Amino acid sequence: MTRKSLTGLDLLLAAADRALHTLAASPTARRPSPAGEEDVSSLADDERRHVAGLMRVNHAGEVAAQALYQGQALTARSPHVRETMRHAADEEGDHLAWCDQRLRELDSRPSLLNPFWYAGSFAIGALAGVMGDRVSLGFLAETERQVEGHLDDHLRRLPHNDERSRRVLEQMKRDEIRHGETAEAAGAAELPAPMRLLMKLTSRIMTRTAYWL
């Protein structure tokens, strides 16, 4: 069945299925975790809690990324942009699985507010798509720039002996940079400064809350 033959209800059900899969199912990665096979680091209890908080933030960010790109794909006007968003969502799915695995290794849990992060991000992504493909691509590029900075901050804050988490975040950063470059090459529009600031403030609320909840 082609996308043009799908009804509004079909698209809504597909979006709901993806949401349930992201929020309720155990995520699986297409690529092996860059962390490697064994956790050989020795973390003190306070370090473990801190790393768990950081990885919970990253997990919440990947939940939001799934919703954001699915919302953008739903309202994209061109097949190329739609495929760009879905490809980014697929690779972000690897990040989600890697963060989930690391949280379990740290005897911790994802954010309790993940349904809220998903719903809000899906709405934002759908709105960005409605505003046009160049704006939507610009939103993707700006999102990836901000995530890159966020990952740099987490890499600085990791305990020096937690190489397992570090390898995961470094691979995530490489992927995010590539996603942003792809969006820019596809014709991303430069977002106005007020919109970039609003994105940064929204991200700050999520990261500070998800660290604890």
Structural domains counted in the chain: 1
Q: What is the pTM of this model?
A: 0.87
User: What is the chain's mean pLDDT, rounded?
Assistant: 86
Is residue 10 one of the residues assigned to a domain? Answer: no
Output the pLDDT for position 16: 65
Residue 131: give the domain boundaries.
Answer: 43-210
Q: Are 135 and 128 in contact (CB under 8 A)?
A: yes
Is residue 34 one of the residues assigned to a domain? Answer: no
Three-state SS at 117: helix
pLDDT at 20 over 80: no
Is residue 27 one of the residues assigned to a domain? Answer: no
Report which of residues 99 and 87 the model is more confident about: 99
Helix axes 79-105, 133-157, angle to 10 degrees: 20
Categorize the per-residue pLDDT at 11 as very low, low, confident or very high, splitting at 50, 70 and 90. Answer: low
pLDDT per position as a tens digit, 64-75: 988 888 888 888
Is residue 9 one of the residues assigned to a domain? Answer: no
Output the pLDDT for position 2: 46
Across 9-17, average pLDDT: 62
pLDDT per position as a tens digit, 91-139: 888 999 999 999 999 999 999 999 999 888 888 888 888 888 999 999 8
Categorize the per-residue pLDDT at 10 as very low, low, confident or very high, splitting at 50, 70 and 90. Answer: low
Burial (CB < 10 A; 0-12, 13-18, 19+), residue 15, is middle
Output the pLDDT for position 98: 94
Output the pLDDT for position 103: 94
Output the pLDDT for position 1: 44
Tokens of 58: 């990253």
Is residue 13 one of the residues assigned to a domain? Answer: no
What CATH code is carried by the domain that includes residue 148?
Answer: 1.20.1260.10
Is residue 121 one of the residues assigned to a domain? Answer: yes
Is residue 8 one of the residues assigned to a domain? Answer: no
pLDDT per position as a tens digit, 153-208: 999 999 998 999 999 999 999 999 998 998 898 889 988 888 888 888 888 898 99
Output the pLDDT for position 90: 83
Is residue 169 one of the residues assigned to a domain? Answer: yes
Half-sphere exposure of 77 (CA within 13 A, CB side): 11
